[in-house]
Amino acid sequence: MKTLLLKWWLFLCTQAAIAGIAFYLGFFQSLIEKDPTRLSFLILAILLLSSLWIGKIVYSTQGKSKQDILGILSPVWFTAETCLVLGLIGTVSGFIIMLGTAFVDIDVSNIESMQKALTQMSIGMSAALYTTLMGLISSLSIKIQLVNIERTVEQHE
């Protein structure tokens, strides 16, 4: 089972490296500016906590049966699906922001009014896309870890 712990540690270090590169490239600053819902940060926090939770599960699996380990993983599978749902909620929220406020005071004959409407629409659209992206990436990352655990456990039993 040390192999499983090393695989998890490698995956966690890879996630940390990707987060470091994203920070260096200004991705998180862009996320702050373009996601008024802040759901993207909630989803990323869930990813971080889930990865640490999976590490705790992996560390404590010595001497446990296959069924015990797989039973412990059920709530984490739910968490992975929750990331997807939060991403979709962010998508809907972004579309509400985009369509709900953009056309309130629009005057099609006024260029400034149209520019303001397009700016408001772009904020909503970016919120929708960023939360969807974060939900998909987080869910996929959690699921990769879980599949890795399940395959390793099945090979050793």
Q: Is 138 helix (H, G, I), strand (E, B) or coil?
A: helix
What span, in angstroms and rounded, lies between the C-alpha atoms of 144 and 129?
A: 22
Q: What is the predicted pLDDT for the residue at 101? A: 67
pLDDT exceeds 70 at position 102: no
pLDDT exceeds 70 at position 1: no
Both structure tokens of 82: 């929750």
Where does the pLDDT of residue 141 fall: very low under 50, low under 70, confident under 90, or very high at 90 and above? very high
* Cα torsion through 37, 130, 13, 76, rounded to 10: 70
For the segment 36-47, what is each residue's pLDDT rounded down to a tens digit?
889 999 999 999
For the CA atoms of the chain, what is the radius of gyration?
Answer: 20
What span, in angstroms and rounded, lies between the C-alpha atoms of 78 and 150?
A: 15
Residue (of 50, 58, 132, 55) closest to 91 by Cα position? 132
Q: What is the predicted pLDDT for the residue at 157? A: 63
Q: What is the predicted pLDDT for the residue at 41? A: 95
Q: Which are the contacts of 74, defined by CB distance < 8 A and separation ≥ 6? A: none
Q: Is 58 helix (H, G, I), strand (E, B) or coil?
A: helix
What span, in angstroms and rounded, lies between the C-alpha atoms of 121 and 97?
A: 7
Annotated domain spans of the chain: 2-156
pLDDT exceeds 80 at position 156: no
Q: How many CA atoms lie within 13 A of 110 on its CB side?
A: 8
pTM: 0.85
Residue (of 133, 109, 104, 120) closest to 39 by Cα position? 133
Q: What is the predicted pLDDT for the residue at 89? A: 94
| 51-70 average pLDDT score | 84
Q: Which helix (H) or strand (E) holds 99?
A: helix 66-102
For the segment 63-96, what is each residue's pLDDT rounded down to a tens digit?
777 777 778 888 999 999 999 999 999 999 988 8
pLDDT exceeds 90 at position 134: yes
Q: Which are the contacts of 12, defined by CB distance < 8 A and separation ≥ 6? A: 51, 55
